[in-house]
Amino acid sequence: MSDLIWLTEAQMRKIKPYFPLSHGIPRVDDRRVISGIIFVIRDGCRWRDAPAEYGPHKTIYNRFIRWSAMGVFNKIFAGLAAKGGKPDQLMIDATHLKAHRTAASLLKKRLAAMIPHIISLRPQTYRAHQRWFELQAARRM
């Protein structure tokens, strides 16, 4: 595969100080496993779909889960961000904003207010709107 991701030696030198110490049995190649973690997260694929060049998918998954629980990746990101200086731009991803629990009922209130207006429409338009309401009700089930 040509789209494999491999961290360079310079990149590994930057993040290696944040790795936890190995106790007892030496770990498998950190470069290979971390490159596999980056590949899976970048592509959004399942762990078992990681290419065999990165090693067993269970090893990649276990390392990700264990180091995430230990906060290793947070330390790496914080350390690299601190060395980078002040950013020129900040970006906010709005997909993580939470809606209030009552926000879901607003749609029902708006639809209830629209029903008298829809009933007064021409018959063929009313049938189209009625079908739309039926589809929406079916989607909620």
Task: Compute the distance between CA of residue 126 and CA of residue 120 in angstroms, rounded to an integer.
Answer: 8
Q: What does pLDDT average to over the chain?
A: 80
What pLDDT is attached to residue 61?
95
In order, the DSSP letters of the chain are --------HHHHHHHGGGSPPP-SSPPS-HHHHHHHHHHHHHHT--GGGS-GGG--HHHHHHHHHHHHHHTHHHHHHHHHHHHH-S-S-----GGGPPPPGGGGHHHHHHHHHHHHHHHTS-HHHHHHHHHHHHHHHHHH-
Q: Is the pLDDT of residue 139 over 70?
A: yes
What pLDDT is attached to residue 110?
62
Among 49-58, 78-87, 111-120, the range with the most confident prediction by mean pLDDT is 49-58
Task: Compute the distance between CA of residue 79 and CA of residue 25 in angstroms, rounded to an integer.
Answer: 27
Model pLDDT for residues 11-69, shown as the tens digit of each residue: 999 999 999 998 888 889 999 999 999 999 998 899 999 999 999 999 999 999 999 99
Q: Is the pLDDT of residue 9 over 80?
A: yes
62 vs 114 pLDDT, higher one: 62
Q: Percent of the chain having pLDDT more than 70? A: 69
Mean pLDDT across 90-99: 67
| List of long-range contacts for 23-30, beta carbons under 8 Å, 24+ apart | 28/55, 28/59, 29/55
Tokens at 114, concatenated: 């629209």
Q: Name the amino acid, one letter, at 134.
A: E
Task: Compute the distance between CA of residue 49 and CA of residue 40 in angstroms, rounded to an integer.
Answer: 8
Mean pLDDT across 122-140: 64
Mean pLDDT across 94-106: 61
47 vs 107 pLDDT, higher one: 47
pTM for the whole thing?
0.60
In the block, tokens 């018959």 appear at 123
Q: For the chain, what are the domain ranges?
A: 9-84, 103-140
